[in-house]
Structures are given as structure tokens and as C-alpha cells.
Structure 1
Amino acid sequence: MENQSKKVTLFTPVKLGKFELAHRIVLPPLTRMRTVNGFIPNDWMVEYYSQRATKGGFLVTEGTVINETGHGYYGAPGIYTDEQVAGWKKVTAAVHEKGGIIFNQLFHVGRQSHRSLQPNGAEPIGASAIPHEDLVFTQQGWVPAEPNRALETAEVKALVKDYHQAALRAMEAGFDGVELHGANGYLIDQFLQDGTNHRTDAYGGSMENRVRLMIEVLEAMVDVWGSDAVGIRLGPSGTFNSMSDSDPIALFGYAAERLNELDLAYLHLIEPRINGNIEIADGLEPVASMHLRGIFKNKMIAAGGFDQAKAEDILEKGYADMVAFGRHFIANPDLVFRFKNGIPLASYDRETFYGGNEKGYTDYAFYEAYADA
């Protein structure tokens, strides 16, 4: 926990892993689904990330699919082909030109998929075959996810290798580090929580077994990057995508203890007051950060319904070291400038969050004085 003898604000510099950052405002992973063909990052994405990059600022990409079976949202980017790596190189170069630091969030949706998004129309895969009523985005729009099958033990071990390969490709693409997506009901989360993990092998049952995949994947990522350039995102008590656990406080406390063994750069937490992109409990304290702050030893990033005042409050209390702003960063590419200068924020348009073109993506206006700053 950071020394709080001096007041910490959004504009206090901070060391995150091996990086010295100028401020504590984070662009979090935001699924926007703007790729067109081959799930390859394109010029819209180059502009989008460049617009939001600042000198000494920290950005995390949208969830980036590690292999062909990992897709659940048509238009989300991948990092498993040479063409995808080439597309990401343009993004990282644009961010670095602005002086920003950018991590690639690696993920696999697990059961949150549809045959039309799977190789050869195969069944989606996940921790266990448990019915659920969630939606995925296909070329035909939002449709119910299709039933999945449970992964065989050998397939789970093969997925760890795919994460390792994705971490290598992220390095090739020019990223500064990688973040593991372990939240929102996707593959890692499906293994963590007992509502979705009914396995009887080494990856199911006890908490030790259920965190095994998370630890093995992180070890693979650390093998490539070193621990000071690897983070993880978790969503304790999150219910998005039909998630549940019989004892989430114990589970995520144990997970945080295990993460300490890896000496990661950071733990990125989604507060349970957020369900997908909807704030469902305005005014609720950041309970996940408050609980895990006393367990996890390294830097923590809090995400979930924060405005500037709430962000300053959580920093001052010491429950988090940095704060991520999703919807506000979507509508305000100059969010850092606006916060620093007390400028009102532009409103976001939910209708353009997912898919489409540059509308609601790269066409949000900068404050008129920004160019002269």
C-alpha cells in the first residue's frame, strides 16, 4: 500500500511495475468491435488509441483474442495471426509517439460464444457445460450464446500454451506489457467461480484447483514479459454473463494471495456495482478494492462507475493506486486534459459503443483549448 502521508491525487506520478507514469488516469479495456476483416486492428483503431494517449499515461487495449476459439464478439481484434500483429504495430507506434504506455489485454471468451464464431462451426468451449442465457455478437447482430462443451484436461493445458504464444506476439507487436482478462464471465472467470466450474479434475473443486488455470496462464505471460510488465483484471462478485460463486469473498481473497506469489505489476479490479456497461448501484462503496487492498501487495487499479470526485476519494483513502474511466474516456478523448483543467465532460452515446464505424468512436470532439495546451 502506498504511503499516504502526502495527499495522492489523479495527477500524482506513480510507478506501475517498471514504468514511471505521469498520472493515475487509466484507459481500461473497452470492447468496441471495430475490426472489419480478419479481426485485424485498422486505421480507426490507430486513431482511437492515439487520441486517448498522453505522455506518461497508461492505456490497456480492448480484450484481444488469443486463438480462433476465443471469439464471442464479431469485430473484436485478435493477436494470433501475422496480419493482426502488423495491425497492432501501427497502434502501439501511434501511442508511443504520444509518449503513452500501452498493455495488450489477452482474453478468451470461453462459453460466451456461438458456432458461427468458432472454427468449422464447432461448439463453444468452457470450464463446464452449464446452461446460461447470455448474448454474443455475430455478423447477424446480438444473438443468444449457444451451449458449450467442457474442455478436456489436455485442452486446458494447450490453452496455456496459446496464451504464451499470444504474449510473445504482443511483444512482437510493440506493446509495453500484457494484462490477463480474468473477469466478466469469460474463460478465466469461468474456471475461478464455482457457479460455472463443476469440474472434477485438477482445474475444479477446491479454490486451489479453480485458480490453477489463472496462475498457469500468468506464469506463461511472466515467462515472456517478466512480472513487472504483467497485470490481471478480475471482477469479484461480478454477475455479468451469468456468473456466481458460493463464497466470492473467500475465493477472490485467496486469488489475491496467490497473485502475490507472482509479484505482478498490478491487479485491476471491476467493482460489482457495474454489470457489463451498466452502473447498477450508484453510490455503492468500492467494496472489491476495499477488501483486496489489505491482501494484494502491489499496485491496484479500480474500475467501475467512477467520476473524478469518486476517483480522488478512493486514491486519498488508499484503496487503489490508479483509477480507470471507461464511458467517460469513450466520449472524451481528452479526458486527462479535462480533468486537470476542470472542464465539463461530453456525454457518451451507448448506441455506438459496440460495432459500426468511426461514428461514436473517433469523432468525439476535443475541447477547443486542448490543441494549445
Structure 2
Amino acid sequence: MYYSSENSDSEQGDTEARHAQRLDFADLMLDTDSLNAQLQNSIREQRNRLKLVDQRENQFVSASHSNCDKEANLAADQDEDFAVDEVTERLFLNNNLIVALPYEITKFTNLKTLDLSNNNISQMNDFLLQLQNLQSLYLRNNHITDDGLPKDLSVLKKLKEINLSGNQLNRIPEQLLQMTTLRYLYLGNNHITEVQPEIKNIQSLQVLNLGGNRLETVPDELGDLPKLAALVLCDNRLCKLPRAISRLKSLRSLLLHKNNLCCLPVEIVRLGGLTEISIRDNPLVTRFVNHCAREIMYNTPSLLELAARKIKFESIPYGPQDLPQTLHEYMSSAHHCVNPKCKGVYFTSRVEHIKFVDFCGVYRVPLMHYLCSSRCSSQTPVYYRSDDMQDSEGEEEEPKARLRKVLLG
């Protein structure tokens, strides 16, 4: 009834086979009882469809064999309660009025994707545990609480993705922390106040979304997820990040906007693969912008310094005989950035970042570089400097990776 077909008649057979894998009951305003009846009808239609296929395949079979088939079909009709759906792989039940999983769900033995988003579910019953082929489970925007999941989710060995965003969780359910094969875990827009150290158990995790919660800190163990590529911590109450974040060598995207961050751990520059970071709506950015504006407005370089910078930047030759002694000494006091990708020169006027150096264009965080930061000269830790930046002859090379997107507003 709810299977669809899109292709031409010449491809009808293949199309039916493909779309028989998808069953869509979304947006029908079904309650649990109505859904159960719809699933029963679907299984019945699926059996009838398979019977029709069998009849076509056996149309040249002898009459005696046909009689045997009829008897077998009759027996199957009498045993309808035991019928299962071995075809459907994706079941969409989102945007209904469901409060619990119906028993009929257990008859979809090959189900890989189950979408129950935007319903009225507060408790997931153990029928879920019988879906042994399940890979993706979507439970967004329901009413699930800390004790609303089956106790032993680890029996679902093939489950790779769980989306529990928009529920009523106050903590990460313990059973999720035991699912070592999970790759994608979405827990955004709940009421979670802490991340348990056991998060490190999910060694296969690639995406972790904890945005829109009530986190004030995250544990060091968050740095023990070797495959984590995207970490979403936006819209929380974080005041700082652990230094252990620098151990996330696979991290590509880090979303930190709408927190209370006044600084970032300096070790974060070790994340050579990081390509996106969002830090808008943090005191880190606000204070930096205000500080930078004051520097530019009230502490602009003098004409003397600008002229001297031009001479140094363009490597214009001069000698002691060309300048007065005081000017020659002034020219000798120039500071150069240690980063070979930055040709910045300053004498007295510079903009210094707030506990996190911009690294002169290689790591463009948090905002921009006005001239050159004093930290680039005397206070830059050794690990800020990359051996990839120079070859054996001292010539510049492109760094292996650099931030390509810095979101500030």
C-alpha cells in the first residue's frame, strides 16, 4: 500500500525490488494501535506479492505440483501469525502519534533503518532488541528520559548510528557507553550536564553531537577517541576545554559557538587536520574583537614604524652611514615572526591574542592578525612550529593542513 514505484515499465521488476526495501508511514498521524494494524497489512501484502512471484515462476510446473503448492499456500494462510517481512530494510514512522513500539515491528527481520522521530515516545520497549540487523536508529524529538532505553542495547551488534537529539536526557545513558561499535551519536538539545569518562569506550565513534545541552566541562577522556572527526559542543556552558582535546588527531570539525569560553587550550594547534572551527558568541571572540579595535584605534603604528617596516619588509639595503645612530639602532630592534609563512615585522605596535596565537595565517584563530603578534617571536612554543614548513634548504612549503573555515558570526 505504501511502497512506491518511480521507473518505467521496462524497469518495473527492478524498481519493485528496490522500493520494496523502503516502507513509509510518515506523517499519517498514526497512534500505536493504528500503526500495528498498518504493519500487519503491510506484511500481508508483502506475502501476497511474494506468492504472486512464486506463481509466475511456477506457471509451467505440472498440475500435480501446482496442487501441492496450493495446499502449501493454504497452510501458510492458516499460519499467518508467524509471517515475517524479510524484504523491508528502511521503515519510516516519523511524525506520528506513536507512544511505544508495537509487537509487529519484530516481524521486520531485515530492518536496517528505523526512523521514529517526532512522536510521543517516552519509553522504548524490548521489541527493539529483536531487530538484529538494525544499523541506524532515529529517535529525534520524542520524550525519552534517562531510563527510557532498553538496558542491553549492546545486543544490537550492527547498530552504527543513534540519534536521540531533542529528548529529555539528563545524562548519557550508560547502555550507550557500552556500544563500542557506534560511529555516529547525536545527543543534542537535551539536558545533559556531564559527559562520563566512559565515553572513551566508544572507540569507533566518528561523530559526537552534544550541542544544546548544559555542559560546563568535558572530561579528558574525550581525547581518547582516535576516529572522532566531528565534535559538536556548541550552545552549552563551557568555560574551558581540556588540553587532551589535542589528542583527537582525526578531528576535522569543532563547533564551540555559544559557550562561555575565554580561551582555548594552546595545544589545540596540534590538530593538523582541523578544517573548521566555530567560536562565535564566546567571550574569547568578544574580548578579542574589542581588544583588537582598541589597539587599532588608539595604538596605531607611528609613521616612523611604518616606514621602518616597509624598509625591512622590502629588504631595502642601508648602512650605518645612511642613517643617524638613533635610527640605525631603531632599525636593529625590529622583531620578525618565527613562522616562515609570515613576513610580519613590528617594532613596538602589535596585536596580541588572548591565550591563543593566530600563528600568522596558518591557524587563523580566533579572528585575524593585525601586523604581527608578539607571541610569534619570544613566547611561541616549539610545537607551534611545523617541520613541514621548510624543506632541507630552508624554503617554504605549504603546511599539510590549515583551517579553511573559522565561523565568528
TM-score (norm: length of structure 2): 0.25
Larger Rg: 2
- Which structure's relative contact order is higher, taking Cα pairs within 8 Å and 6+ residues apart? 1
User: Higher strand share goes to which structure?
Assistant: 1
TM-score (norm: length of structure 1): 0.27
